[in-house]
A and B are shown apart, each in its own frame.
Chain A
Amino acid sequence: MDFVAILGSAIQQAFGPTAVIYCLAAIGLNVHFGYTGLLNFGQAGFMMVAGYSIACAVTIFATSLWVGVVVGLLLAALLALALGVPTLRLRADYLAIVTIASAEIIRQTVAAASFSEYFGGQDGVTDFISGFRDANPYSGSVGIPGLFRWSAFDIWVMTVGWLLVALSCLVVFLLMRSPWGRVLKSIREDENAVRSLGKNVYAYKMQALVIGGIFGALAGFMVSLRSAAVGPSFFATDVTFFAYTVLLIGGAARVMGPVVGAIIFWFLITALGGFFSQATAGADPLIPEAIMDPNQASLMRFIFLGLGLMLLMIFRPQGIFGDRRELAIDAR
């Protein structure tokens, strides 16, 4: 068993482009769920709209990635409005249902054969990031020899990505310490109390939905830049649920929760994956083939992750950063 290799790849993933993407998606969910109490199960939809926007800006409209960025942000905001108008006056569960359904609708529509001329059907869209590649100031790879290594392109994606994360965290911090953020937290606690104090709850929820959706859009941009491609399979429902896991690990309603959550999540899932693939590989595997074959081993990380999440919910439901005092309250 090569623990150094496992550690190396785990560190590489923990700070790598994928972690950045889930971190941004979880920052959006933090605004929705952590601060405002809105159950958005369609974060993948916001990401998809944005990811396809920058791809299509280049492939279909032959403009620059920047135009795609602006369009993507606008479309994400519009999607938030479209989802919010019918549901935000209703009970919280309606938003959950509508968001999960609409994310799938968007995905199936974009993947449809009749639009394959524009969106490439199941294959998605490629060949649009030359502008991003050309702007890469790095050359050669970065890392610790023998442990891990990021390619020049990965480092470029990570630089942009973690800068976006830093900026997003700053915005969330500034917003949530303000009276505006206090109204959001109050809405999470009790909508009617907030209404009785003269605040337009509907408008605040809408603003929160749009802002969280825009953070989701940033995650979507990073998906398409990182992969140099976008396809419907990149934005399946599990993306949203992984982002929720990231948020819960770090602790909801904490500015740094999604950051810590993303790093821990990708560290653990890579380390577990590495361990089980090594334990079942080779002629004389650590775990005999009768118990587990390599194909099954690749799924073990999710089983253990689920187990870990359960333990977290039992022993530290507030997440890594959460405040223990808040828990005592829920028990009343």
Chain B
Amino acid sequence: MPAETEPSLAKATPRSDAARAALVDVEHEPGAKKPDPILVAHGIRRQFGGLTAVDVEHVEIQRGVITALIGPNGAGKTTFFNLLTGFDRPNEGTWSFKGTTLDKVPAYKVARLGMVRTFQLTKVLSRLTVIENMRVGATDQRGEGLLSAMFSWLWRGQEETNTVKADELLERFLLHKKREDFAGSLSGGQRKLLEMARALMADPELVMLDEPMAGVNPALKQSLLGHVKSLREEGRSVLFVEHDMDMVRDISDWVIVMAQGKVVAEGPPDRVMSDQRVIDAYLGSHHDQDLSEDMEETILAEAQAEIDAEHTEEKS
């Protein structure tokens, strides 16, 4: 295909080609082995009381690729994120990042290793200005040590470098007009942008984004998609949770589907979307039949029976 006929955003780049090429031979099965995984999780289970929120047998995230993690509400995506990044501990399971086992590694060390996450419920530092929020994100700051903190000549230079980088990112994420405002005065969508920009201050190898586009307007979404793709161009890997299927289809090279804590399907976006298991997971197994009134009643009765069965199980 001649290059000029392609829309600019969907432009195939060497990296995206390479990313997709690397995944060509990967099986379209849950837990499929990847040629060059950056993150490997095995046997991860997390229970909240009687509820098993996450029960992932095996999953691998390919390096240099944009991987989407999708699934219905309550599927356990955020919980899985928390477990991988050290914000929560699983009941059992092992996982490793770049070959380093992370079982007992605290969250801040996970971040220092190069796996930086954002939160579904955005966590901006409200009473700090936007630019200060950005500066906190930079790693290896000399001025963050207690002993050197009081002597500004020790950290001034580094601070200036970080500020230049922060300003570039703010420009990219259209937040430069808000530079001196308190982060707490930003709108919901702007907070999402700030959090994502702040995570990038740390130059992470693997960026983990929990619903980065929720509440962001469509025009900006388009340009953000571009930014996420450019992360791949820079050689970073991206794992993101998203409910917007168009976006998933547009930017991801690989999709992992979770439902009720388990990985139920994996594959390239177009294949996964038509996978029966995925459709079932999202819509329940009755989605393809037209719901007549008696059908609805049957389904309701079935559901009720299931609930009753669960209750008796719990009691016994």
Interface residues of A, Cβ cutoff 8 Å to B:
171, 174-175, 177-183, 185-186, 188-190, 192-201, 207, 325-326, 328-330, 332
A182 to B125, CA, bound (A): 10
Q: Are B182 and A329 in contact (CB under 8 A)?
A: yes
A183 to B146, CA, bound (A): 11
Contacts of A181 in B (CB 8 A): 149
Q: Which of B118, B128, B201, B202 contacts A186 (CB 8 A)?
A: B128
Q: Are A180 and B146 in contact (CB under 8 A)?
A: yes
Nearest 3 Cβ contacts at the A-B interface: A329-B184, A179-B143, A180-B149
Selected A-B contacts with CB under 8 Å, 12 pairs: A178-B150, A180-B143, A182-B136, A189-B125, A189-B126, A192-B87, A196-B87, A197-B136, A197-B198, A198-B112, A198-B139, A330-B184
Name the distance in Å between A24's Cβ and chain B's nearest Cβ: 19
Q: Are B184 and A200 in contact (CB under 8 A)?
A: no
Q: Are A178 and B112 in contact (CB under 8 A)?
A: no
User: For chains A and B in complex, what number of residue pairs have CB atoms within 8 angstroms?
Assistant: 114
Name the distance in Å between B201's Cβ and chain A's nearest Cβ: 8
Q: Are A189 and B182 in contact (CB under 8 A)?
A: no
Contacts of B109 in A (CB 8 A): 198
Contacts of B195 in A (CB 8 A): 193
Contacts of A329 in B (CB 8 A): 126-127, 182, 184-185
Q: Are B150 and A182 in contact (CB under 8 A)?
A: no
For the complex, is B47 an interface residue (Cβ under 8 Å from A)?
no
A286 to B182, CA, bound (A): 51
Contacts of A332 in B (CB 8 A): 184
A227 to B182, CA, bound (A): 45
Q: A175-B146, A329-B185 are in contact. List 11 more A-B contacts (CB 8 A).
A: A175-B149, A178-B143, A178-B149, A178-B152, A179-B143, A182-B132, A193-B125, A196-B107, A196-B118, A197-B199, A198-B109
> Given A193-B119, A196-B117, A328-B185, are A179 and B127 neighbors across the interface (CB < 8 Å)?
no
A196 to B87, CA, bound (A): 9
For the complex, is B91 an interface residue (Cβ under 8 Å from A)?
no
Interface residues of B, Cβ cutoff 8 Å to A:
85, 87, 106-109, 111-112, 116-119, 123-128, 132, 135-137, 139, 141-146, 149-150, 152, 155, 159, 182, 184-185, 195, 198-199, 201-202
Name the distance in Å between B219's Cβ and chain A's nearest Cβ: 25
Most chain B CB within a 10 A radius of its CB, from A177, A193, A207: A193
CB nearest neighbor in A for B198: A197
Name the distance in Å between B189's Cβ and chain A's nearest Cβ: 14
Contacts of B155 in A (CB 8 A): 178-179
Contacts of A193 in B (CB 8 A): 119, 123-125, 195
Contacts of A179 in B (CB 8 A): 135, 141-144, 149, 155, 159
Name the distance in Å between A99's Cβ and chain B's nearest Cβ: 22
A193 to B199, CA, bound (A): 10
> Given A180-B143, A197-B202, A329-B182, are A185 and B108 neighbors across the interface (CB < 8 Å)?
no
> Given A175-B149, A178-B155, A192-B87, are A325 and B182 neighbors across the interface (CB < 8 Å)?
yes
A190 to B132, CA, bound (A): 14
A185 to B124, CA, bound (A): 12
Most chain A CB within a 10 A radius of its CB, from B85, B155, B184, B201: B184
Most chain B CB within a 10 A radius of its CB, from A180, A192, A195, A198: A198
A180 to B149, CA, bound (A): 6
CB nearest neighbor in A for B162: A179
Q: Are B146 and A194 in contact (CB under 8 A)?
A: no
A44 to B104, CA, bound (A): 38
Q: Are B87 and A190 in contact (CB under 8 A)?
A: no
Q: Are B136 and A326 in contact (CB under 8 A)?
A: no
Q: Which of B135, B142, B143, B146 contacts A207 (CB 8 A)?
A: B146
Name the distance in Å between B160's Cβ and chain A's nearest Cβ: 12
Q: Are B124 and A199 in contact (CB under 8 A)?
A: no
Contacts of B85 in A (CB 8 A): 196
Contacts of B135 in A (CB 8 A): 179, 182
Contacts of B116 in A (CB 8 A): 196-198
Q: Are A175 and B150 in contact (CB under 8 A)?
A: yes
Q: Which of A171, A188, A199, A328 contacts B144 (CB 8 A)?
A: A199
Contacts of A197 in B (CB 8 A): 108, 111, 116, 136-137, 139, 198-199, 201-202
Name the distance in Å between A242's Cβ and chain B's nearest Cβ: 26
CB nearest neighbor in B for A180: B149
Contacts of A185 in B (CB 8 A): 125, 127-128
Q: Are B107 and A195 in contact (CB under 8 A)?
A: yes
CB nearest neighbor in A for B150: A174
CB nearest neighbor in A for B113: A198
Q: Are A198 and B108 in contact (CB under 8 A)?
A: yes
Contacts of B199 in A (CB 8 A): 196-197
Contacts of A328 in B (CB 8 A): 184-185
Contacts of B112 in A (CB 8 A): 198
Q: Are A186 and B119 in contact (CB under 8 A)?
A: no
Q: Are A186 and B136 in contact (CB under 8 A)?
A: yes
Name the distance in Å between B149's Cβ and chain A's nearest Cβ: 4
Contacts of A192 in B (CB 8 A): 87, 107, 119, 123
A195 to B159, CA, bound (A): 20
Q: Are B136 and A180 in contact (CB under 8 A)?
A: no
A75 to B135, CA, bound (A): 35
A195 to B125, CA, bound (A): 12
A59 to B206, CA, bound (A): 62
Contacts of A326 in B (CB 8 A): 127, 182, 184
Q: Are B185 and A196 in contact (CB under 8 A)?
A: no
Q: Are B202 and A198 in contact (CB under 8 A)?
A: yes
Contacts of B152 in A (CB 8 A): 174, 177-178
CB nearest neighbor in A for B143: A179
Q: Are B149 and A189 in contact (CB under 8 A)?
A: no
Name the distance in Å between A168's Cβ and chain B's nearest Cβ: 13
